[in-house]
Amino acid sequence: MSRPYFADLNFDAWQDRTILLDLDGTLAPDNEQTVTRVVAVAVSDLAVSNRVVLLSNKKNHARNRQIAQDLSLDYLETHLRKPDPRLKRLLRVGGVNDFSNLIVVGDRYLTDGLMAKVLGAEFVKVRRLESSTKSRSSSLVDNLDDTAFFVSRLFKLMRPVQWLKNVLILAPLSFAHQFFNYEKLGLALLGVVIFSLLASGVYIINDFFDREGDRAHPLKRRRPLAAGDISPRVAGILAAGLLLLVTALTSVFFPATGLLLLAYFLLNLLYSRYLKAIPVVDVVTVAGFYLFRIIYGGLIIAVPVSAWLILCTLFLAMLIVGSKRLGEQSRIATGRSVLEFYSPEFLKQLTLGSGALALMSYGIYTVLATGGQPLLYSNLPAVVGVFRLIYLAERGQNTEAPEWLIFRDRVILISVLAWLALIYLSLYF
């Protein structure tokens, strides 16, 4: 889809942000000595409510400084080229500390876009201002960059980070002492792939319905459909292709799970259109999606799943969803209408109660199971991890993306690793 030029961007939603602005190809064609009046006016409008820093990979510093001076902008003069990670330190020296509040604007994904990834910032890609003396090699580089950006947006649309949830599919295999049964392990891993493809198709459909509301959310507005990086038509084709692939793989390898996957798909559609706006029902429904994964994991390897393990999964999922709602509420009150019906006190009680029930269910499971002492001891890191998540949620510390907390919070990471080690010892030694 055609992208706007920099001068055609709407800056109304950009208030009190720091903008890292590319020069060549964004404000002017390569090596031009000045910018047009239209671009200068757009830069002036942008700078009214934001701090704008100019950065160019072209090392003609005299020319870059002059353009920055003409536009009344700060210029980051350095020998480093985007996306060099060392630029992050230079930006800090220049007074840029909150990179979540930073927007990188540029015409190239493989420089400006990757720079945004390195910084943890938002990236806005604009249409390239072409030089009148453009070479064939330059055209090839431009086409490669556009293709890389398009593929990256398609991949982001599939939300691969959410595939981490599908590790739950391996739980029945592990707790049945079958993890090193390579035939069943292969089936379970294939199940993870199939469920990941299905989940991606569902996420794309949900993003299609939610794209208008997502544009009002500080994080979700970066999603490809909300940001306008991918057209609804392309998203629809990708979703249909994924669902057809899931149907084909399921009919060949796991036909007995077809109804379960269909129920998961239909419940997601129902949630996206109606259930997500009903208080409490929205939390229980999302928690139920986790149950589909663990039940699916048992079906594909023909292993029964303990009722206590199912209950533990349900309550743990409710804890995760509750902490996510609490994190969203503490940071922003728009973009998810159901948040208006939840008080902080209720969400805190929900997370605490769900965490306690999850630990109780897991504790009973470890007593009834045959894993020996290490399995009982696995309750200790479980307690630490659960209450650490509750602690972070009540303090409003970025729990609206709990899938990342495993990597961002050392206490939770160590708890998970210790729990996995004890599970391994209890089941296989």
Q: Are 310 and 294 in contact (CB under 8 A)?
A: yes
Pair 72, 39: CB distance under 8 Å: no
Question: How many CB atoms within 10 Å of residue 46?
Answer: 22
Across the chain, mean pLDDT equals 89
Higher pLDDT, 333 or 51: 51
Name the one residue in this structure whose structure tokens are 């020996």: 372
H or E segment to which residue 125 belongs = strand 122-125
Distance CA 287, CA 271 (A): 12
Q: What is the pLDDT of residue 355?
A: 94
First and final C-alpha spacing in the chain: 56
Residue-wise pLDDT tens digits, 146-174: 999 999 999 999 999 889 899 999 999 98
Domain boundaries defined on the chain: 6-154, 163-273, 306-429
Q: pLDDT higher for 134 or 225? A: 225
Provide the CB-side half-sphere exposure for 391 (13 A, CA): 10
Structure confidence at residue 380 (pLDDT): 95
Q: What are phi and psi of 418, to 5 degrees?
A: -65, -40
Return the higher-pLDDT residue of 131 and 392: 392
Within its chain, how far is the Cα of 279 from the centroid?
24
DSSP 22-47: E-BTTTBSTT-SS--HHHHHHHHHHH
Residue 99: both structure tokens together? 């990179």
Question: Is the pLDDT score of 334 beyond 60?
Answer: no
Residue from 103, 201, 112, 214 nearest 159 by CA: 201
pLDDT tops 70 at residue 398:
no
Distances (CA, A) of 317 to 285, 312, 330: 10, 8, 20
Fold of domain 6-154? Rossmann fold (3.40.50)
Q: How confident is the model at residue 38 (pLDDT cuts 50, 70, 90)?
A: very high
Q: E strand or H helix at 214, and its extent? A: helix 182-214
Q: Which residues pair with 74 in a beta bridge?
A: 53
Contact 415, 381 (CB under 8 A): yes
